[in-house]
Structure 1
Amino acid sequence: MVDPRTYRPAPGSIPTEPGVYRFRDEHGRVIYVGKAKNLRSRVSSYFADLTLLHPRTRQMVTAAAGVQWTVVSTEVEALQLEYTWIKKYDPRFNVRYRDDKTYPLLAVTVGEEFPRAFVYRGPRRAGTRYFGPYSHAWAIRDTLDTLQRVFPVRSCTAGVFRRQAQLGRPCLLGYIDKCAAPCIGRVSADEHREIVNELCDFLAGKTDVIMRRIEKRMLEASEELDFERAARLRDDLGAMKRAMEKQAVVLGDGTDADVVGVEVDELEVSVQVFHVRSGRIRGQRGWVVEHAHGVDAGGRFDPVLAVPGVVSDYLAQFYGGEADLAGATESGTDLAAAVPREVLVPALPEDAAELADWLSTLRGSRVSLRVPQRGDKRSLAETVRRNAVEALTQHKLRRSGDLTARSAALQEIQETLELDTAPLRIECVDISHTQGTDVMASLVVFEDGLPRKSDYRLYRIREAAGDGHSDDVASIAEVTRRRFRRHHEEPAVTPDDTDGPVDDEAEPDAAGAGRSTPTRRFAYPPQLFVVDGGRPQVEAAAEVLSELGVNDVPVIGIAKRLEEIWLPGEEYPVIFPRHGEGLFLLQRLRDEAHRFAIRAHRGARSRRMTTSVLDEVPGLGPSRRAALLEKFPTVSTLRAASSDDLCAVPGIGPGVAAAIRATLGSQDPAAAEPTEGAAPADTPGSDGAGADVGDSGRAVGDGGTSNSR
């Protein structure tokens, strides 16, 4: 590993003009290419404190042995030069949105004497027009089969074409009028070329012109009393309408646009793009790749900061590649189709103006780059983003479901942490609270790299509860002590020893602990104990284990800032390979503990708010209140309950029921007619996000105030 200070350029030697820079390794190979509006500012940022860099960036600067730069006149030139160098050198630290050539296209060989239409995969070639991409090859075959009734173009291979010409008879498609049979001279080359041009115009979006032309021919045939020909033309119109119906109209104004959706986490990004032509979705593509964006000045990952950088990388690489492919066909029509008039993105990058100018140069006319704010385009953008979220989720599920990947992850953790054995059982602790109130802790268990939900636990933090401030370190210590205090003993567990197994889908009980019937303690200790946090949290957990005499359970911490792994007593963290399966497994474990802790915290917060309202009801003691909360866990369900429903609760009589209804301002459900469009009341098991909770009941990440370590 190279110290970046050994090759850092001298102060003031880097120019302040726009340009492109290249990092090279000790063998002279280019490992990273980047562009900058100000070379001095951008290149100098790579030589900051290593702990503040993104893990991928830190790995790059420590693998490099030198940096070079080239000054250009404008930022648009820098953008073009960066794309050219990435294509030329293929640097291993540049994120590449590679087209794996699996997207099928409808190709028409307009350069041949008798052009043919067929399904095609692979690099584009001169003399051929391409339409798509389509998500499935069968969609192209189905569309082509329908359109060949109207446009009977040749679709056979060169060998079949020559054989049928020698035999002097057409193939099956020629007999059923789905091919004009130019092989036997049924139509001339010029007549077949006219059919091909009409097919290309239809596929290019000129549907109204073609349909009006055929409709005119149909009316002329009818006036001439040629009803058989008029009926064929009528059927042709129906076939074209069926082909158009298979492509849903999403933008009613006939817009040509590419709609981009992005979902990003600390390690990977999912990008989805819908190609909309003439208001219809003509194709869809998607990638899941690594990224190196989103780290703020303090070294923390922020997905909001990551999206603009991802958008900039994607637009430069994707449309540069599309322009190269379209340029290979020597067709201005294909070039205009490759770069649409409008590109809708989730966030504008810093170089949005330069990107728009560059895309306009590629297309030959003005290209608009913007974020949709309302209407159909905003709705479509949300749909594309949901596809990106689903693609990233499925990508992670495929990795977690792969036995080979799980085995590699456990082996990597063992080797990196120098454990005696692979950690087949890993436990992780996370804390969730709102400014020190309703502090809840979760303990999740992974066995063989998969969640074991029957062993999940919830803990209500006792020492930190009610103190009005947050102390994650003390909370971690308390959970560790309660988890391991019976580590060397074998007695039966009492309800006070642990909070019992928790059903992941069940609502915690009225007591707030989320416990079920007490059961035996964990069958065996973990091979690895993980806390969500950095060095202070790890030291606290290790100190508790030392006090309890537990020296056979290694403990580590995973910090969100840079995905660092902290070990007790170590001054510097352990850095896992960013692309490795080991870090991916630890992240999944941390995220699951985070999710489970937040869910428990939200439930506890909702119950506390409900309980505080019932404290005002005269004659309602703790026992009756607990019985009432067991059946009606939220204020909304209590307000909706009738007097008979309340009296059905043990210990609640007519007088107490009347007091409850008076305190809550309840209305008899029979007397209250719901208004049309009214929001439904929250129901049991809703995580406390009902109307009675208010803004504080929103989930973390949606503007709420919950904190979790």
Structure 2
Amino acid sequence: MFDIQEELKKLPDKPGVYIMKDVNGIVIYVGKAVVLKNRVRQYFQNSANHPPKVCAMVSRIHEFEYIVTDTEVEALMLECNLIKKYKPKYNILLKDDKHYPYIKVTMNEQYPRILKTRRVEKDGAKYFGPYSSAFAVNDAIDTIKKLFPIKTCNRNLPRDIGKFRPCLNYHIRQCLGPCQGEVNREEYRNMMKKICSFLGGQYDEILNDLKGQMETAAQNLEFEKAAQLRNKINSIVQLSEAQKVLSADGQDRDIIGFAQNATDLCIQVFFVRNGRVVGREHFVFEGEGNEDVRYSLSTFIKQFYNTVQFVPSEIVIPQEIEDSGIIEQWLTGKRGFKVSLRVPQRGELVKFVKMVVQNAEISLKLYGERLRREGSIHEEGLKELTKALRLECIPDRIESYDISNTGSSEIVASMVVFENGRPARDEYRKFKMKSVEEQNDYASMQETLYRRLSRARRESEGEDGQAKFSKLPDLILVDGGLAHVNAAQQIADELGFDLVIAGMAKDDRHRTRALVYKGSEYELSSNMPMLRLITEIQDETHRVAVQYNRKLREKRYTHSELDDIEGIGDTRKKALIRHFKSLAAVKKAEISQLLEVDGINQKVAGKIYEYFRK
């Protein structure tokens, strides 16, 4: 039998990789350590210092093994390979480990060709990319074929010169015909050098050349040729505008940004080659929203650059990460030239990182919206919620409450309703506190529930015929912990309602963390469907409360004496100010003058006149 405590004593003071396994011998985590003894022991010390995901992982460790390496770089490389091999449950897994497409110009051949490839080799050819998709590569190659009369066949030149009949491209002047010996090697290679400049984003020289040819053709009355050259110029201009210029230094770099919410992490990469954006890619890691982003970025960089064929000279990241020095050594060895990880502090690179972060936020938002459209998070989340709280049946109607206030003013509450796991916006209700004059979330929650449940009782007894609160919830969720739940439960008990009430607790970063129910907490980090559902409910409840609070504050700060006059609404108020230019002029106006304003009749004019003359 594997004795964890005894095995911990045997760990060496050397760098290496450790492998955690569950009771079935399945690898659940792979990690790297500078000193194996210190790193592995940390997992089995005080769990209060561990994030929820680590606690969940440690509880499943049945045994571990380790591999000693000579250097930290070797440990890093071995860690990447083992993660790729085992795909452990508790590692951040880069699911999309595809090889990105590149454009290859075979300048190592006498008569170079243009190819699409997914491998970058040290063979003397020039590579451009990576591109985000094969479609983008094909589109770029098609553009080149329109602009330059290159050969597209695979004939071995100069060996096959003159041995075959020319192809159709030769006859329609889309190929110079090197297979017929009609263009010398240097002339053809010069054209390929221009293509390399074009792929590198250096368009000015080519544009100037084409403009000169077009003007010459026009002067010689060769209008058809001039029109063809004009079309080529327009194609290059459109392409140059589509490729955003990020830097004038023309350097190759990848710019990385990230965005997190309560459940997920999105990492976005912009590929910048010769100072221009040639592609971008984003990766969403489910369940990593609450993890330390320094660790997440470090893990991502190791996995991502272990799979890509090309490593740029500079990788720009938004903040410092673990083992940056070791990662730089590894990437430098992989590339063959110096690679640096850079965290910009000022200048244009800071703006570029912010732009990438904004795109990561958009990608993460779209990912969440897609999940909601598919409906899986609602169905699975409700099932898990029912199981966790041990409810008799799935709660069809969930009411969620939150309090929002600004000091002692504009204390409000929101009641958000989810039916069958989806927002029922017609059922939303908002409350402005009447009995609570100072900031007190517990008292505010009690007033809100008292008013809501009392109204439900009156409607059921026929005293109120509006039926706005007649539907009772299968589950009430309050924003807060045990004290909030107890405050709400007290009101339900006093009014004689047998209701299921739970609290939505947040962490120190105000993110959904746990459900509080019957005096105990249910940690949500290990239950992704339930965490997604509760997070959506909590965020929506908070949004409605804050929005209502903000609306009341804006109304208070923009309040005018005209608002206190019966019959004066926003339209008439605007019309009066527009006509008289100021409130002071309205106060001095006679009834005849007031009647000149659009929308002001005799009755309203009299009320305005009397109000300001009192």
Q: For this structure pair, what is the TM-score category when the shorter chain's length is used for normalisation?
A: 0.7 to 0.9
How much has 1:582 moved relative to structure 2?
A: 2.9
Kindly report which structure 2 residues correspond to 1:163-178, keeping only aligned pairs within 5 A, or say none.
168-171=165-168, 173-178=169-174
How much has 1:316 moved relative to structure 2?
A: 1.7
Match of 1:569 in 2: 518
User: Matched residue of 1:98: which SS?
Assistant: coil
How much has 1:369 moved relative to structure 2?
A: 2.3
* Residue 193 (structure 2) pairs with residue 198 (structure 1): yes
Judge which range, 32-41 or 420-429, deviates more: 32-41
> Residue 313 of structure 1 is aligned with which of 299, 323, 326?
299
Unaligned 5+ runs, structure 1: 159-164, 296-305, 327-337, 498-517, 615-619, 660-709
Q: Any conservation in 2 of the 1:118–1:155 contact (CA below 8 Å)? A: no
| TM-score of the pair, normalised by structure 1 | 0.68
* Residue 195 (structure 2) pairs with residue 249 (structure 1): no
How much has 1:600 moved relative to structure 2?
A: 2.3
Alignment CA distance shift 1:477-1:144 (3 Å): same
Measure, in 2, the Cα distance between the counterparts of 1:460 and 1:608: 14
Q: Deviations over 1:357-399 (max 9, x none)?
A: 3333333333332233444333322221111111111100011
* Residue 20 (structure 2) pairs with residue 23 (structure 1): yes
Kindly report which structure 2 residues correspond to 1:40-59, keeping only aligned pairs within 5 A, or say none.
42-48=39-45, 50=47, 53-59=50-56
Measure, in 2, the Cα distance between the counterparts of 1:151 and 1:117: 11
* Residue 84 (structure 2) pairs with residue 87 (structure 1): yes
State the one-letter code of the partner of 1:89.
Y
Alignment CA distance shift 1:130-1:621 (3 Å): closer
How much has 1:474 moved relative to structure 2?
A: 3.4
* Residue 560 (structure 2) pairs with residue 560 (structure 1): no
Match of 2:344 in 1: 372
* Residue 534 (structure 2) pairs with residue 534 (structure 1): no
* Residue 446 (structure 2) pairs with residue 477 (structure 1): yes
Alignment CA distance shift 1:486-1:522 (3 Å): closer
Alignment CA distance shift 1:565-1:231 (3 Å): closer
Measure, in 1, the Cα distance between the counterparts of 2:349 and 2:369: 30
Match of 2:158 in 1: none
Alignment CA distance shift 1:67-1:644 (3 Å): farther
User: Matched residue of 2:89: which SS?
Assistant: coil
Q: Any conservation in 2 of the 1:542–1:555 contact (CA below 8 Å)? A: yes
Unaligned 5+ runs, structure 2: 156-161, 595-599
How much has 1:79 moved relative to structure 2?
A: 3.0
Measure, in 2, the Cα distance between the counterparts of 1:30 and 1:193: 56
Measure, in 2, the Cα distance between the counterparts of 1:360 and 1:645: 75
Root-mean-square deviation (CA, aligned residues, Å) is 4.7
Measure, in 1, the Cα distance between the counterparts of 2:13 and 2:447: 54
Count, aligned residues: 579
| TM-score of the pair, normalised by structure 2 | 0.77
Kindly report which structure 2 residues correspond to 1:49-448, keeping only aligned pairs within 5 A, or say none.
50=47, 53-70=50-67, 72=69, 75-99=72-96, 101=98, 105-106=102-103, 117=114, 131-135=128-132, 137-155=134-152, 168-171=165-168, 173-180=169-176, 185=180, 194=189, 198=193, 201-202=196-197, 205=200, 207=202, 211=206, 238=233, 243-290=239-286, 292=288, 294=290, 306-322=292-308, 326=309, 338-434=310-406, 437-448=409-420
Measure, in 1, the Cα distance between the counterparts of 2:6 and 2:539: 40
Judge which range, 277-286 or 344-353, deviates more: 344-353
State the one-letter code of the partner of 2:551.
G
Alignment CA distance shift 1:69-1:311 (3 Å): same
Measure, in 2, the Cα distance between the counterparts of 1:608 and 1:581: 41
Q: Any conservation in 2 of the 1:154–1:181 contact (CA below 8 Å)? A: yes
Q: Any conservation in 2 of the 1:251–1:280 contact (CA below 8 Å)? A: yes
How much has 1:265 moved relative to structure 2?
A: 1.4
State the one-letter code of the partner of 1:388.
A
> Residue 29 of structure 2 is aligned with which of 32, 36, 39?
32
Alignment CA distance shift 1:170-1:309 (3 Å): same
State the one-letter code of the partner of 1:588.
E
Identity %: 30
User: Matched residue of 2:31: which SS?
Assistant: strand
Q: Deviations over 1:76-102 (max 9, x none)?
A: 444333223222332222112232649
State the one-letter code of the partner of 2:53.
R
> Residue 603 of structure 1 is aligned with which of 533, 551, 557?
551
Alignment CA distance shift 1:317-1:568 (3 Å): closer
Structure showing greater Rg: 2
User: Matched residue of 2:517: which SS?
Assistant: coil
Measure, in 2, the Cα distance between the counterparts of 1:560 and 1:626: 46
User: Matched residue of 1:83: which SS?
Assistant: helix
Measure, in 2, the Cα distance between the counterparts of 1:625 and 1:356: 72
Measure, in 1, the Cα distance between the counterparts of 2:163 and 2:449: 85
User: Matched residue of 1:530: which SS?
Assistant: strand
User: Matched residue of 1:148: which SS?
Assistant: helix
State the one-letter code of the partner of 1:387.
N
State the one-letter code of the partner of 1:316.
K
Match of 1:675 in 2: none
Alignment CA distance shift 1:35-1:138 (3 Å): closer
Measure, in 2, the Cα distance between the counterparts of 1:151 and 1:240: 12
Alignment CA distance shift 1:81-1:193 (3 Å): farther
Q: Deviations over 1:129-155 (max 9, x none)?
A: 753333455543343223124444444
Alignment CA distance shift 1:28-1:125 (3 Å): farther
User: Matched residue of 1:574: which SS?
Assistant: strand
Match of 2:584 in 1: 643
Q: Any conservation in 2 of the 1:262–1:270 contact (CA below 8 Å)? A: yes
Alignment CA distance shift 1:363-1:642 (3 Å): farther
Q: Any conservation in 1 of the 2:256–2:269 contact (CA below 8 Å)? A: yes
Alignment CA distance shift 1:15-1:253 (3 Å): same
User: Matched residue of 2:32: which SS?
Assistant: strand
State the one-letter code of the partner of 1:255.
Q
Alignment CA distance shift 1:10-1:208 (3 Å): same
